[in-house]
DNA sequence: AAAGATTGAAGATTCAATCTTA
DNA sequence: TAAGATTGAATCTTCAATCTTT
């Protein structure tokens, strides 16, 4: 019997291309961006993301727990990352007035300067790696797909198990 | 002056949504798939990918160097991963007749069985996490985008520096 | 008892250096 | 000299256990 929809390992080849492509493209782009930020500004991609996140907040600070979820690290993973960033003087811990268990990660002036210095590298790499290769329609579609995928996901953060 | 194209950190919000969505969706999907393979079959996602890659080869074996590139690991990273897989009896190293420097990673019978047992978990997770959320058109478009993105990338493998 | 955060121990990955063969 | 593969040291991340506060 003829196979009308060619399959490989239970997924059709076009399904496989969409999935494997996602893995490969992500690996490629994040490694390139990480390397560029590291060599040009001494920042790992995850570090940049934390600084960027804090920089976007009104008070330039955010609860540790929320940062962890936003950047996709475990609580302990974020503790260690903030340790490193604090050692470099880019971030500092501030105790939380309303809940003594909690702590804020707050961007320092040095951290803000480093963030701003690194932004162009970040923007250029994202443009060169992804944005330049997609049409406006495709761009909108990508965003829409991600929204559905992330929305549909059961929350995996430490908060909601 | 009015901002017609709202921006955040130099990228427009729609550009940012496409990029950040890629990061988030990848993190989400790969973590879920990894966890499912790990709990149900004792396989990390990377291990599954190596087994799957070998299983697709004619002789069920492939040069270490090529495996490393295909799964996006460094040479040393793959050396260690194959160490672990070999310890579990899923893969074995076979010396290369035509080039004594080289080695093959070869799927064992046990490895093949484990791979086949794990396939449904893999397929289900990819379907539930990604494929079910996209239309056929979008699926094709995703594959096309990945192709362009990966094609445009300067080769980052250990082979071509 | 539950939540936010940290710590110790262990795993996975990489870089630089090394070994063997081409 | 260069390429394939491995090793040692270091880094990043997580899990489980712990401490403090709610």
- Contact flag, residue B80 CB and nucleic strand D, below 7 A: yes
Interface of B with A in 123-152 (CB under 8 A): 123, 126-127, 129-134, 138-143, 145-150, 152
For residues A103-110, average pLDDT? 98
Interchain pair A129, B153: CB under 8 A: yes
With 90 as the cut, is the pLDDT of residue A151 above it? no
Q: Average pLDDT of chain A?
A: 91
In the structure, how far is the CA atom of residue A34 from the C1' atom of nucleotide C9, in angstroms?
Answer: 28
Interchain pair B156, A120: CB under 8 A: no
Separate counts of helices (H) and strands (E) for chain B: 6, 5
pLDDT in tens, B23-39: 999 999 999 999 999 99
**Other Cβ atoms within 10 Å of B17 Cβ, number:** 18
pLDDT in tens, B48-94: 999 999 999 999 999 999 999 999 999 999 999 999 999 999 999 99
Interchain pair A142, B147: CB under 8 A: no
pLDDT in tens, B85-118: 999 999 999 999 999 999 999 999 999 999 999 9
Q: What is the pLDDT of residue A152?
A: 82
pLDDT in tens, A26-53: 999 999 999 999 999 999 999 999 999 9
Please, are residues A12 and B15 in contact by the beta-carbon 8 Å criterion? no
Q: What is the pLDDT of residue B134?
A: 97
Interchain pair A15, B126: CB under 8 A: yes
For residues A44-71, average pLDDT? 97
3-state secondary structure at position B93: strand
User: Measuring CA to CA, which residue among A65, A54, A151 is closest to residue A108?
Assistant: A54
In the structure, how far is the CA atom of residue B75 from the C1' atom of nucleotide D6, in angstroms?
Answer: 9
Which residues, at least 6 apart from A34, have a Cβ–Cβ distance to it below 8 Å? Answer: A44, A45
Please, are residues A110 and A89 in contact by the beta-carbon 8 Å criterion? yes
- Contact flag, residue B44 CB and nucleic strand D, below 7 A: no
Q: How far is A100 from chain B (nearest CA, A)?
A: 30
Determine the Cα–Cα distance for residues A11 and B87; give it in Å rounded to an integer.
30
Among chain A residues, the shortest Cα distance to B8 is held by A56
Residue B2 confidence class, pLDDT cut points 50, 70, 90: very low
pLDDT in tens, B130-158: 999 999 999 999 999 999 998 886 654 44
């Amino acid at each position: 019997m003829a196979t009308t929809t060619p399959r490989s390992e239970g997924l059709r080849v076009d399904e496989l291309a969409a999935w494997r492509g996602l893995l490969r493209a992500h690996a490629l782009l994040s490694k390139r961006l990480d390397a560029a930020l590291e060599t040009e500004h001494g920042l790992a991609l995850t570090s940049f993301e934390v600084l960027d996140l804090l920089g976007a907040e009104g008070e330039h600070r955010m609860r540790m727990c929320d940062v962890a979820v936003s950047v996709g690290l475990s609580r302990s993973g974020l503790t260690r990352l903030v340790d490193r960033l604090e050692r470099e003087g880019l971030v500092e811990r501030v105790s939380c007035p309303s809940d003594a268990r909690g702590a804020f990660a707050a961007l320092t002036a040095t951290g803000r300067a480093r963030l701003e210095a690194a932004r162009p590298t970040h923007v250029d790499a994202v443009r060169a790696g992804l944005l330049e290769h997609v049409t406006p329609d495709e761009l909108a579609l990508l965003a829409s797909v991600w929204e559905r995928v992330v929305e549909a996901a059961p929350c995996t953060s430490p908060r909601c198990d």
